[in-house]
Chain A
């Protein structure tokens, strides 16, 4: 099953099981079924609960907040994650704060689904991993499926979450199979204390890892081949791939980090001020005596993402960048 099929099936089952679920966004209707076809076939079955909208993301986010306050469970699709900036005010000043401002008398169970990430030559405003701009917002959750989780189940969990959730779907994952066959790689799933799954990949059978690699979302597509190649280089890697990105499932990350004492954090977003920065700060505080090398980050160059494929490849992080970081923490 592909991630796309898994997400589509999850949306269908949510519509079937929860009458308060409403899907809306731009171009969701059949036969188009959304820019990336995640909602294909749903409008035909639930014509009154799968709605297409004008191009006005700020209004859509406000609509979602209002629906949630009045007892619905809206699932909003923003066509490209880059357009989340238009929703910022409704997320930052409204949806995330209502619960506190109204003294816990309301919840805002909004899920905003959106494709993120580069690799397809879509250029500066359709390729970003924009989530770092939202990671500092209190009370919201940011969730990203990887190829090493039941993506649909994670989406269902996000929709059932009483918090406002940004659900990030990396574009390059849609067509990939869940849990890809990867010889020599073991995959174990653990749940963080909020119930979101994290995958632990290992490219070795026995002993302790040399390096712990922390990554999420789109980076997961690179990990199975990368770990296989590192096994050929005799480098034992434990990769921890959480689906809950923010707040950090710190206990899970910390346990994985302490297995090796050498940590590489890989994210597709720009390196500065990102997910890896927060993790590095907290790991250095918690594991100061156990770390055997400084936590090392891999991320995109702090630049607009080019449209030209070759330049885009140069800006975004890849296996070579991860390998350099792995070698660096081992030296």
Chain B
């Protein structure tokens, strides 16, 4: 086996040496321990011994500077062998740290503002590292800096005629996402804060709107003028929506309606407060709707209908005119209601129902839908 001879570390003073001379010509068979070359350091000359026997193949040139570890020669088993000069040994260099996407300055700014780095990375688009300016822009978009900050009034407060109503969203779940989606296209309102009782959500954001605490934070945030009015985003639990509305009323916090711009509210319709009306709903002429109702997309409250308080409508609940829906009624998806019917308080109407007669209070309407279900034959040519 070919053995390479490298320049030795002679003393700590020198990182290398001057290669003085070969004492044996190229191709000589040398024996182990034989002196084959001379090196000169700043302090002395050094004899280089063959570490084992072999045919000498010379690389280093006399008079050249060699660094510790440089290959000087090889000892080969046969005289014909021409060893490949090995690649110069790379300094064992530390792996370069992976390209960090956030500058130190941006990190510090984010930490000061209480912005989670993962959130920061997710919210800043574009190429190159996330910079301090990105953090500042993010803070400006949010309008508020961090949960424990006393949020100063927005600049546009000086011009009330131009001001967008600022909303607090109560509940940071799926309903909040729908609400914020609608608000993102709404001209006269903007969401400035979310509260959610799950403490692990605090400091995070939904569609750029920060979650600033639980229900306990509502009073402080309102006092700090973070928002003008509140709306409850939770559609599934009527009880929760009622409790939160009660609490907000006790705190003398006004409630707002949020209406998707694609929804249509016809002439002389009357709305209470705290209602959520999502995309493509219609509130017909002269319809009257109470407080705290949640209307999923494509709900049609026809003309001259009335709806009480805290009802929840799944998508696609359609009714004819002059229907009276009392309070706390929960509708599933895809329901049709004949005209002039009354749906009593606290009832639950399952998906797919077609209501043709009055429903007394606290009823459950369950629909039996007949359908058959069987596996279809799948051949290899049929797309799965």
Contacts and interface: CB of A to CB of B under 8 A. Distances in A.
Interface of A: 32, 35, 37, 120-122, 210, 230, 232-235, 307, 323, 327, 330-331
Interface in B2-23: 12-13
B104 to A, nearest CB: 4
B104 A327 contact: yes
B12 A233 contact: no
B111 A331 contact: yes
Given A331-B108, A331-B111, A232 B103 contact: yes
B103 A121 contact: no
A120 B12 contact: yes
B105 interface: yes
A323 B111 CA distance: 17
A210 B108 CA distance: 12
Nearest to B133: A234
A210 B109 CA distance: 13
Contact of A234 (B12, B111, B112, B132): B132
B108 A330 contact: yes
A318 to B, nearest CB: 12
B106 interface: yes
Interface of B: 12-13, 42, 103-106, 108, 111-112, 129, 131-132
Contacts of A331: 108, 111-112
Contacts of B12: 120-122, 307
A233 B103 contact: yes
Given A120-B12, A121-B12, A327 B103 contact: no
Nearest to A35: B13
Contacts of A121: 12
Given A35-B13, A121-B12, A232-B129, 10 more contacts: A210-B105, A232-B103, A233-B104, A234-B103, A234-B132, A323-B104, A327-B104, A327-B108, A331-B111, A331-B112
A121 B15 CA distance: 11
Nearest to A210: B105
Contacts of B132: 234
Nearest to A120: B12
Given A120-B12, A121-B12, A122-B12, A235 B111 contact: no
Contacts of B129: 232
A323 B100 CA distance: 15
A319 B131 CA distance: 22
A137 to B, nearest CB: 30
Residue of A32, A37, A233 contacting most chain B CB atoms (<10 Å): A233
A52 B119 CA distance: 68
Nearest to B111: A331
Nearest to A232: B103
A32 B40 CA distance: 13
A131 B111 CA distance: 39
A119 B181 CA distance: 60
A210 B112 CA distance: 15
B105 A233 contact: yes
A121 to B, nearest CB: 5
Residue of B108, B112, B129 contacting most chain A CB atoms (<10 Å): B108
A232 B129 CA distance: 9
25 contacts: A35-B13, A37-B42, A120-B12, A120-B13, A121-B12, A210-B105, A230-B104, A232-B103, A232-B129, A233-B103, A233-B104, A233-B105, A234-B103, A234-B104, A234-B131, A234-B132, A235-B104, A235-B105, A327-B104, A327-B108, A330-B105, A330-B108, A331-B108, A331-B111, A331-B112
A327 B106 CA distance: 11
Contacts of A32: 42
Contacts of A122: 12
Contacts of A230: 104
A232 B12 CA distance: 36
Nearest to B12: A121
A142 B44 CA distance: 34
Contacts of A307: 12
A210 B105 CA distance: 10
